[in-house]
């Protein structure tokens, strides 16, 4: 399954796109910003943390 959503910080924003693969015992989430500008605004580790947090929230 693919996904896409917008992130925003101040006046700047970007789209995050990715794919979720579901296996028998694991879920693999791959994501990337659609623009390299977002990496200059938000640290890659922070993006990863936000996505993991939201996935945990949604999947329990």
pLDDT tens, position by position, 15-57: 888 888 988 988 888 877 766 666 677 777 887 787 788 878 8
Q: Within its chain, how far is the Cα of 44 from the centroid? A: 10
Element (H or E) spanning 51, and its range?
helix 44-59
What pLDDT, on a 0 to 100 scale, did the predictor assign at position 36? Answer: 67
What pLDDT, on a 0 to 100 scale, did the predictor assign at position 37? Answer: 66
What pLDDT, on a 0 to 100 scale, did the predictor assign at position 52? Answer: 82
Contacts of 38 (CB under 8 A, 6+ apart): 7, 12, 14, 16, 47
Query: CA 41 → CA 14, 16, 25, 45, 48, distances in Å?
Result: 10, 13, 35, 12, 14
What pLDDT, on a 0 to 100 scale, did the predictor assign at position 43? Answer: 78
Q: Within its chain, how far is the Cα of 33 from the centroid? A: 8
What pLDDT, on a 0 to 100 scale, did the predictor assign at position 31? Answer: 78
For the chain, give every domain's residue range.
2-59
């Amino acid at each position: 399954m693919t996904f896409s959503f917008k992130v925003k910080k101040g006046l700047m924003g970007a789209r995050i796109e990715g794919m979720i693969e579901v296996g028998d015992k694991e879920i693999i989430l791959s994501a990337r910003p659609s623009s390299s500008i977002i990496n200059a605004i938000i640290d890659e580790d922070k993006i990863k943390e936000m996505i993991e947090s939201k996935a945990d929230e949604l999947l329990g």
